[in-house]
Amino acid sequence: MKEKNSAYLLLASVVAALGGLLFGFDTAVISGTTPFIQPYFGLNDVGLGWTVSSLLIGCIVGVTLSGKPGDLFGRRNTLRWAALTFLLSAIGSALAAKLWVFVLFRFFGGIAVGTASMLSPMYISEIAPGARRGALVSLNQLAIVIGILVAFFSNYLLAGTGVDNWRWMLSVMGLPALLFFGSLLFVPESPRWLVQKGKVDEAFDILRRINGADRASSELNDIKQSVANEEVGTYREVFSKELRPLLSIGVLLAVFSQFSGINSIMYYAPIIFQKMGNQTNAALMQTIAVGAVNLTFTIVSLKLIDRWGRRPLLIVGAVGMAVSLSVMAGAFFLRYFEGYLILVFILLFIASFAVSIGPVSWVVIAEIFPNRLRSKAMSVAIVSLWTSTFLVSLTFPVILDRLGGGAAFSIFAVMCVLLLVYVIFRLPETKGKSLEELERILLKRS
């Protein structure tokens, strides 16, 4: 019976994590299309930056608006809507003949990405038992980097399909979107949401299947007590003087994670490799290596984060990112692209990011806020993340073209040094503490 319960729980968590896979796929697939959509739509550097980053505006909207439908209609049903929006975005952007149509459907895809980035981990955390919550929630982050790798590999395979290859690259996203929607028909709703809506018997049946009959009653009572005593937090409290130091940690980690330059490499990797003198197919192949290293070192981080702690991983990662970006900047300044120098240090940068601030920022953001304010405070941090991603993605093509790769990577290297200083002197360690203990410690510290 225990194995059956575990399989049921794992199935629900994996299905929810497919939202993360689509999140990763949709944000990364654009990288392979940029060498082709730029001449097709006649884009200058500013236009390319806007076209790529239009999805990120949708992400901000999706994060901001997803909480209300998630509370009204349920986590599962809202994720179904997001899956259909993913599908609509894939078809619409692939068929677009005009730039405004392409941008509009990428914007819709962004709304779905923002919704998934909020509700997929929320759903998993609400359905998983406390003892297994961390490992199961981490499936979402793992699914994101798998989605990125799948997008890079798909782009490489489809690069030779003719003048409309970019349309095929985008339309492929419809397949996992359909899989996500169909799979959501076979998983339960969040027991916590069901209790909030007074559907106690249905919640108990789900808890019994997950935890077994012995623990289902106690779990249900805990949820009922928590819901009954739960005070509704406000955004005024999130921005209050008392919480401001914690909010600054979440926002700064989110901003640093993007100002490190990660998405400039993820979105524009083929263009970077082409500026080094590589052909398009070779550039796309090297991009697959970027995705593979990202996946490998994300798994390493998941193994080490509870053993080493958050701060040591961030320190190691910040040093690795700063060094690799500095070498990359020097190579661009000196126009030295011989051999695989740039590729090696891009992969070192990706490994340093993936083992540190990539996954660690999400963990810390989820840990540091008081329980009753967590969703609202997290939404502020995540909106900050997507806003930073938008700004970097919008400006990077212009900086790369007008100032050169040396200037672009120098800016990112400076940001990684600032991250290192911030972690050493300001960031508290959260390893091994319960959420309630962290709430007491961090609020007292602030």
8-state DSSP, 131: G
Angle among Cα 249, 28, 44 to the nearest 5 degrees reads 100
Helix ranges (H only) for 189-261 are 191-196, 200-211, 213-229, 235-238, 244-259
**Sign of the alpha-carbon torsion through 71, 359, 243, 251:** negative
Helices 244-259 and 405-426 cross at an angle (nearest 10°) of 150
What is the enclosing helix (H) or strand (E) of 340? none
- What SS3 state is found at 427? coil
DSSP 143-195: HHHHHHHHHHHHHHHHTTS-TTHHHHHHHTTHHHHHHHHHHGGGSPPPHHHHH
Class of domain 235-446: mainly alpha
Q: What is the pLDDT along the chain (446 residues), one digit of tens a residue?
A: 455 567 777 788 888 888 888 878 887 788 778 888 989 999 887 788 788 778 888 988 998 888 788 888 988 999 999 999 999 999 999 999 999 999 999 999 999 988 888 888 778 777 776 556 556 666 777 888 888 888 888 888 888 888 889 999 999 989 889 999 999 988 888 888 888 888 888 888 888 887 777 777 877 887 777 667 666 678 888 898 888 888 999 999 999 998 998 877 765 666 666 665 555 555 566 677 888 898 899 889 878 887 888 899 999 999 999 999 999 889 888 877 665 777 888 899 999 999 999 888 877 887 777 767 777 888 898 889 888 888 887 788 788 778 877 888 899 999 999 999 999 998 888 776 655 566 677 766 65
Q: Which pLDDT value is given to residue 269?
A: 63
Fold: same for 1-187 and 235-446: yes
Q: Which pLDDT value is given to residue 268?
A: 60
Cα 123 to chain centroid distance, Å, stands at 15
* Closest CA relative to residue 180, chosen from 383, 26, 9: 26
Domain 1-187: what homologous superfamily? MFS general substrate transporter like domains (1.20.1250.20)
Domain residue limits, the chain: 1-187, 235-446
pTM: 0.76
Q: How far apart are CA 180 and CA 223, in angstroms?
A: 28
- Going from the C-alpha of 416 to that of each of 352, 399, 413, the distances in angstroms are 11, 18, 5
**Sign of the alpha-carbon torsion through 60, 63, 69, 72:** negative
Q: How far apart are CA 313 and CA 303, in angstroms?
A: 11
Q: Which pLDDT value is given to residue 1?
A: 45
- What SS3 state is found at 270? helix
Q: How far apart are CA 2 and CA 428, in angstroms?
A: 38
Close Cβ partners of 157 (under 8 Å, ≥ 6 residues apart): none
Check if the beta carbon of residue 117 is closer than 8 Å to that of residue 59: yes
Q: How far apart are CA 63 and CA 378, in angstroms?
A: 10
Q: How far apart are CA 211 and CA 1, in angstroms?
A: 10
Q: Which two tokens stand for residue 167?
A: 């349309």
